[in-house]
Amino acid sequence: MNIPGLTVVIPAHNEAAYLPRYLPTVLASLAQWEASSGERGEVIVVDNASTDATADMAASFGARVINEPVRSIGRVRNTGATAARGPRLFFTDADVALPVEALKAAVAAMDTGAVGGAIPPLYTPDRLGARLLCAYWDHYRTLHGGAQGVAQFATATAFETIGGYREDLLMSEDIDFFARLTAHGRATNASVKILDDLRVRPSTRRYDQWSSLRMLWWQNPVTARLRLSSPRIWRHWYETTVR
């Protein structure tokens, strides 16, 4: 069997309308890495209790589709990682556009000693308030050394060693994961790379459809630590997801 050298894991809940826009950017980035490396990669879309044609849409692009019925973003990412067959993992979301150099750069970082890393996001919402909120979070993550889950990567060995994503956290699981990955890197004298010369471009659907005040309420350093295991508190992020 030709084992994939890289697995891209994409959680997806009711993303049939977004996959045709964003999945091709992942495939283009994967194709560039494959052409330059001579290795083969795979894309796993984890269908998370979708009620639309997410699974069929993902399969139509050649992605391997895995089902995960439990609505927990950490569990969904872990399900994809468990199904992965290669030594390198890259996690992104179904509404994120990757630059074509993204996967090649992530693999290069891991192949030169990094246990993992991330590519920062570039959000471009329409409203000024939303843009200011995004700029604040960019500054906050830079100041505190964090990285969003819209584009995180790790060696499979490091991922397994730190236990993957916490499945009990319904929010901020990516911040927790990156903090533990960073601690693991320090403990093993390995680097964790934030690829600042690149940017991924997530959709701005929440910023464009929710008011700036509502986004500020749910996206601030205090709320982002508030009862992160409570389905009731975080139902706005799960049950009323903007599409």
* Gap between the Cα atoms of 153 and 155, Å rounded: 7
Encoded tokens for 104: 């090649």
The answer to whether position 118 is within a domain reads: yes
Q: How many domains does the chain have?
A: 1
The answer to whether position 137 is within a domain reads: yes
* Gap between the Cα atoms of 60 and 122, Å rounded: 28
The answer to whether position 128 is within a domain reads: yes
Enter the DSSP assignment of 98. P
The answer to whether position 243 is within a domain reads: no
pTM of model > 0.85: yes
Q: Which long-range contacts (CB under 8 A, 24 or more apart) does 50-57 make?
A: 50/12, 50/13, 50/14, 50/15, 50/16, 51/14, 52/14, 52/15, 52/16, 52/17, 53/16, 54/12, 54/13, 54/14, 54/15, 54/16, 54/19, 54/94, 56/16, 57/15, 57/16, 57/19, 57/20
The pLDDT of residue 243 is 61
Write out the residue range of the structural domain in which residue 141 sits.
6-238
* Strand-pair partners of 202: 96
The answer to whether position 99 is within a domain reads: yes
The pLDDT of residue 230 is 76
Q: Which long-range contacts (CB under 8 A, 24 or more apart) does 217-220 make?
A: 219/133, 219/137
Is 228:172 a contact under the CB 8 Å cutoff?
Answer: yes
Q: Which long-range contacts (CB under 8 A, 24 or more apart) does 210-215 make?
A: 210/242, 212/127, 212/129, 212/130, 212/133, 213/129, 215/129, 215/130, 215/133
Fill in the amino acid letter for 138.
D
Each of the 243 residues of the chain gets a pLDDT tens digit; together they read 589 999 999 999 999 999 999 999 999 999 999 999 999 999 999 999 999 999 999 999 999 999 999 999 999 999 999 999 889 999 999 999 999 999 999 999 999 999 999 999 998 878 887 778 777 777 767 776 667 779 999 999 999 999 999 999 887 899 899 999 999 999 999 999 999 999 999 988 877 877 777 776 667 676 766 667 777 776 776 666 666
Q: What is the CATH number of the domain that holds 183?
A: 3.90.550.10
- Sheet-wide strand order for 114-118: 64-67, 41-47, 6-12, 88-92, 151-155, 114-118, 191-194
C-alpha closest to that of 98 among 127, 118, 75: 118
The pLDDT of residue 144 is 66
The answer to whether position 1 is within a domain reads: no
